[in-house]
């Protein structure tokens, strides 16, 4: 068990030794198999490829693995839904809808403009009696939802009460943006969790191993020869450790500030660098 | 300590003996001091008086004690806010705004139509830099909010990060309506609780004793001679027991179904009837 993280910035030999231990980098590194693993559910893989390209990082759609795609695969290939319960009620953005479409999973809710309104008097009775509920809904899938409102939460809750499977693209409660934090997918599903007395959805994003299984299923690599690189201990690094990967590398360009964050020994990366570019110095 | 609830329906002598033990009924009964104690924050006391009157129950505004009023009193008379931090950011409805007005507490947010929109690109930077935040906000008050959206949650979270006091009119996660359940005030504050890592707001509604203190402060009764009547064990009956009232009476016309609900011995009412009208038979 790793209890000390190795500091690699400026350590040429250490970097070389570290890089050579792996065939696959789940996130970012040149010359080896790369998979960009993201919990951001608002963007599809195609959106992400475009974003990476605009940042000067060449990537293909197949190298991107997002939590929306992970959820779509889980629903279409793993979850055994009854034939009359195949529809997904989405609490989230277009990224989820695009990936559900790519797996031919029928869905409602999401960005549907007819739901972008206040709840009205008649809605209560229609939801209570079920007349405004689609009987084919078998899953409620929550991601980050900029269109979150009382009506959508009410509908989602009633689908769950009628037995729908409760899934989330990810459970991050906050979303880093503009150097601060905004509500994340885990904040959007929180009202439902509270209404269900604390019952959590099954998460298809990091650090959930459902996502690791899906990544491995697609890329078929040796976990001992794979390294997870990321900036969050509780999602990225935890994801790699729980998945039994050969290594994890923490970069300090995100929310993790340094050694003090893993001093408690709970989630210790194999190694760490100040910034990803530091790996190039030694490679 | 009471460990058995007395069943009063049809028990003439029992009813008489029970009623004679109290001077004050927090909720409903003729001929004695009555206080209608409600957690519904969307209505002001004046709204409630009107509702009761329309139901054939004569009541005055002063007999109604709502969680919005309780919160307004707490903010204006108990909370010692710095002179430059007197404004309340409201995540809730007009009932809260009316009661804050009645106590001359300045407020923003709430039903402000300029916030009834999607978050836009510029909002992130403006919230992060603080240019779209009102520096006089010293409290975030959450109630049931039919206008809940991502923008309002983002603003509320940033006020809290800047040190605002976190209050809630009540923490009920569900709201009974049309014989089923809809999101309650506790569901509306849940995204913020999740983003704050589980930190709960101070509740000014049942069963919080902050509300009991406020009720007693206004009506000045002997707690031993007061009885709480209600249909929910975890709010109404708990409220009376924790407040050291002389008695509690559970009516089965709401969410509580009967004996089986207090069998675990956690929250046992002093007595119970099938419906409130059953008290009249004996009185």
Whether pLDDT at B279 is above 80:
no
Q: Which residue of B has its CA nearest to A153?
A: B183
Confidence bin at A72 (pLDDT 50/70/90): very high
Is the distance from CB of B282 to CB of B12 less than 8 angstroms?
A: yes
Q: Calculate the alpha carbon distances from A151 to A107, A134, B145, B174 in Å.
A: 17, 15, 11, 14
Which pLDDT belongs to residue A185?
Answer: 97
Which pLDDT belongs to residue B267?
Answer: 94
- Chain pair A-B, CB pairs under 8 angstroms: 106
Residues 190-219 of chain B whose Cβ lies under 8 A from any Cβ of chain A:
190-195, 197
Strand A180-183, strand A174-177: pairing: antiparallel
Structural domains in chain B, CATH included, are 6-39+210-282 (3.40.50.1000), 67-203 (3.40.50.1000)
Q: Which residue of A has its CA nearest to B172?
A: A195
Whether pLDDT at B122 is above 90:
yes
| Residue B1 CB neighbours (<10 A) | 5
Return the bridge partners of B65, or none.
B37
C-alpha of A163 from chain center: 24
Q: Calculate the alpha carbon distances from B164 to A203, B169, B232 in Å.
A: 32, 16, 31
Q: Calculate the average pLDDT of chain A.
A: 90
Whether pLDDT at A118 is above 90:
yes
Across the interface, which of B129, B148, B158 has its CB nearest the CB of A150? B148
B246 inside 8 A of chain A by CB: no
Whether pLDDT at A22 is above 80:
no
Which pLDDT belongs to residue B31?
Answer: 54
Which pLDDT belongs to residue B28?
Answer: 43
Residues 6+ apart with CB under 8 A from A220: none
Flag if B194 and A177 touch (Cβ within 8 Å): no
Q: Which of B174, B180, B188, B201 is the mutation pick for testing A, counting most A CBs within 10 A?
A: B180
Whether pLDDT at A205 is above 80:
yes
Minimal CA–CA distance to B242: which of B16, B26, B29?
A: B26
| Residue B275 CB neighbours (<10 A) | 11
* Winning range, highest mean pLDDT, from A24-28, A242-246, B138-142, B276-280: B138-142
Whether pLDDT at A6 is above 50:
yes
Q: Calculate the alpha carbon distances from A277 to A28, A29, A207, A230, B197 in Å.
A: 10, 9, 24, 13, 32
Taking the C-alpha atoms of residue A125 and residue A131, their distance in angstroms, rounded to an integer, is: 8
Whether pLDDT at A279 is above 80:
no
Which pLDDT belongs to residue B282?
Answer: 54
Q: Calculate the average pLDDT of chain B.
A: 90
Flag if A128 and B178 touch (Cβ within 8 Å): yes
Which pLDDT belongs to residue A190?
Answer: 98
pLDDT tens digits, one per residue of B185-226: 999 999 999 999 999 999 999 999 999 988 888 888 889 888
Mean pLDDT of A66-78: 93
Whether pLDDT at A273 is above 70:
yes
Mean pLDDT of A129-139: 97
Mean pLDDT of B261-281: 86
| A268 against B10, higher pLDDT | A268
Across the interface, which of A125, A187, A197 has its CB nearest the CB of B194? A187
B236 is catalytic: no
Binding site of B for substrate, by residue number, is 206
Mean pLDDT of A214-243: 89
What angle separates helix B121-129 from helix B150-161, to the nearest 10 degrees? Answer: 10
Q: Among A161-165, A185-189, A238-242, A269-273, whose mean pLDDT is lowest?
A: A269-273
Q: What are the chain A neighbours of B201 within 8 Å (beta carbons)?
A: none
Confidence bin at A27 (pLDDT 50/70/90): low
Taking the C-alpha atoms of residue B227 and residue B76, their distance in angstroms, rounded to an integer, is: 28
Place of tokens 């696959």: A24
Taking the C-alpha atoms of residue A226 and residue A246, their distance in angstroms, rounded to an integer, is: 6
User: Which helix (H) or strand (E) covers residue B64, if one does?
Assistant: strand B64-66
Residue B77 tokens read as 């008379």
pLDDT tens digits, one per residue of A95-112: 999 999 999 999 999 999
Q: Is A104 annotated as a binding residue?
A: no
Taking the C-alpha atoms of residue A103 and residue B250, their distance in angstroms, rounded to an integer, is: 52
Confidence bin at A25 (pLDDT 50/70/90): confident
Across the interface, which of B153, B173, B183 has its CB nearest the CB of A154? B183
Which pLDDT belongs to residue B30?
Answer: 47
Binding site of B, by residue number, is 206, 231
């Amino acid at each position: 068990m790793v209890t000390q993280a190795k500091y690699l910035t400026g350590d040429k030999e250490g970097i070389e030794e570290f890089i050579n231990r792996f065939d696959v980098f789940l996130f970012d590194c040149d010359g080896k198999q790369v998979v960009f693993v993201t919990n951001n559910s608002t963007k599809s893989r195609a959106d992400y490829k475009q974003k990476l390209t605009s940042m000067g990082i060449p990537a293909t759609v197949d190298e991107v693995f997002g939590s929306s795609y992970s959820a779509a695969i889980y629903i279409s290939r793993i979850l055994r839904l009854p034939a009359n319960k195949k529809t997904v009620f989405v609490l989230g953005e277009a990224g989820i809808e695009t990936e559900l479409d790519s797996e031919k999973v029928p869905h409602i809710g999401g960005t549907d403009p007819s739901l972008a309104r206040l709840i009205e008097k008649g809605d209560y009775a229609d939801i209570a009696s079920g007349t405004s509920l689609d009987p084919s809904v078998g899953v409620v899938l929550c991601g980050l939802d900029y269109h979150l409102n009382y009506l959508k939460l009410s509908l989602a809750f009633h689908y769950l009460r009628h037995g729908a499977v409760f899934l989330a693209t990810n459970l991050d409660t906050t979303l880093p943006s503009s150097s601060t934090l905004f509500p994340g997918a885990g904040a959007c599903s929180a009202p439902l969790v509270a209404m269900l007395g604390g019952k959590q959805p099954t998460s298809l994003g990091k650090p959930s191993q459902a996502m690791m299984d899906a990544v491995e299923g697609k890329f078929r690599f040796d976990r001992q020869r794979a390294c997870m690189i990321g900036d969050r201990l509780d999602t990225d690094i935890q994801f790699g450790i729980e998945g039994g990967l050969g290594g994890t590398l923490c970069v300090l360009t995100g929310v993790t500030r340094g050694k003090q964050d893993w001093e408690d020994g709970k989630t210790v990366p194999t190694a760490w660098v100040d910034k990803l570019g530091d790996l190039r110095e030694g490679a």
